[in-house]
Chain A
Amino acid sequence: MALSRLSLALGHVRRQFVSFGIGFAATAIGLLALLCRHRFSEVDCVGYFGLYLLSYLFLGFSFFHLINLNVSSLRIRILKEYLRHAPGALPDQVLLDRYNVSDMLDARLERLQSGNQIFFSNGRYFARSGGVQVIGGLFTFLRRLLLSP
């Protein structure tokens, strides 16, 4: 929170990663210190270290997404459009004009490029191999596993 209030030359995602990294290091050091004070076997130490560090990673991941809903969630963005007109109603066409998919596509492309997940060359966008393609493949697999008839 303190980092996000400082006017650093870092984007909000980088600031969150820095905060997350600091928290991760503090958790790991704290865990090691605690585990050293107890007489657990080596295997148990590894188990407890893994359990609590993974808990931190999961909770950090969830918190990162919670605070980034304003950026990443279409539904939240739409709700905020309605809030600007509350308590009045907003016709669908006005919402769709204001929140058009062309702008949305540009914003996503910009975000994916700045995140180094895709690149632009000779008039075409390309995905960088590695993490992002693995994630895409995982989502496709889960969709097929859970939602396809």
Chain B
Amino acid sequence: MVAFLTAFGLLFASFAVHVVLWRVRVPRSQSSALLLIFLIVPVTIGAAMWTGARFQMTPAISGWHWVGIFVFQAGATLSYLVIYTGIEEESPSLVIIRALGRAGCARSELAALVTEERFVQPRLRSLGSGGFVELADGGRRLTRKGQQTARAATILAGIFNIRDSA
């Protein structure tokens, strides 16, 4: 049970640091900052606990269980990063769900909410600031990083037999 509680404690500590930092100032590169927080906080506390256990100040956790704790931490961090993309930029599906409420909505009411300005333009800007696309010849084109990402997504869709839709 010590390993289980330690894993949850480390996750909670990482989340708490994330909330405090975001309340002070939201970082420009939010996903990278999140990754750093969810890496540095558990490693630091884990190292302190491991050292403490040598002096019998904290409960002893075997090496294999530390591996388990960090696998848990990695999975939870990746899952939170997935969730965070829906927090950082509004998802059309979530906006639709929120708008429906109790009274429901006609398609025309939803069309007034799902607009280019709200969903497409911010993503174009974030692709530019993230270095995935660059301005060129009166439009935009993929950078090397953008090409690699788009190719990886195409390969993944092919492997898992997924067709495009959004």
Contact = CB atoms under 8 A, between A and B. Distances in A.
Contact of A70 (B69, B141, B162): B162
Contact of A107 (B79, B120, B139, B166): B166
A73 to B, nearest CB: 8
B106 interface: yes
A103 B76 CA distance: 34
B76 to A, nearest CB: 5
Contacts of A95: 124, 139-140
Given A51-B69, A69-B156, A147-B22, A126 B141 contact: no
Contact of B114 (A92, A105, A125, A133): A105
Contacts, number: 241
B96 A74 contact: no
Contacts of A135: 94, 97
B162 A89 contact: no
Interface residues of A, number: 80
A112 B127 contact: no
Contacts of B119: 74, 101, 104
Nearest to B154: A80
A29 interface: no
A55 to B, nearest CB: 4
B26 interface: yes
A124 B116 CA distance: 23
Nearest to B156: A67
Nearest to A72: B166
B36 interface: no
A133 B97 contact: yes
Nearest to A61: B79
Q: B-side binding surface: helix, strand, loop or mixed?
A: helix
B70 to A, nearest CB: 10
Q: Which of A82, A90, A143 has the most CB of B within 10 A?
A: A82
Contacts of B157: 70
A145 B19 contact: yes
A22 B31 CA distance: 31
A125 B166 contact: no
Nearest to B118: A101
Contact of B75 (A16, A55, A70, A101): A55
Nearest to A103: B166
Contact of B92 (A79, A80, A108, A126): A108
Contacts of A139: 83, 86-87, 91, 94
Contacts of A101: 111, 114-116, 119-120
A42 B50 CA distance: 24
Interface of B: 1-5, 7, 18-19, 22-23, 26, 65, 68-69, 71-72, 74-76, 78-79, 81-83, 85-88, 91-94, 96-98, 100-101, 103-107, 110-111, 114-116, 119-120, 123-124, 126-127, 132-133, 136-142, 146-147, 149-151, 153-154, 156-157, 159-166
Closest 5 CB pairs of A and B: A58-B75, A47-B4, A47-B1, A62-B78, A91-B139
